[in-house]
Structure 1
């Protein structure tokens, strides 16, 4: 029974494939058809301008990535990215982000 189930699952997955690649924002305008086929309903041209939404919400923290999640400047990222990043060094002595658990 297990073998039959494995065979059926294997046959069902024959048409599954990944669209591999890592594209730069400047290339997104050329991928409109591919994006639409994957189910993206937005305008691909919005993904080419680094200074407009949604790309202007991306933050670089010295090798780590983050994203603005509020108009007040709240950033979502991983703990290890804040622990030794510029964000921690730029916090005031009164409001140390990691020590006071503002970030975590």
Structure 2
């Protein structure tokens, strides 16, 4: 690929942020695949869209939401009944570490 947009170093960096472990072969395979995807975006950018209205949805409906009505909630006891661990009336989960 003549104009690489994404390098192996960038794939490594992104995988580190995402906490995805990739070996050297996987990184080497991903670079051309990701650059090919970006090339498709370049081709889309070349399309003549002069006079074309933006399309935000195909069904013509806008912001179809139900009313936010207050209703009866389940009890704390019911909410916690299938929890693996609870403490002082709350769900207990494993500590999240950096």
Structure 2 length normalisation: TM-score? 0.27
TM-score of the superposed pair, with normalisation by structure 1: 0.26
Query: Which structure has more strand as a fraction of its residues?
Result: 1
Higher relative contact order (CA 8 A, sep 6+): 2
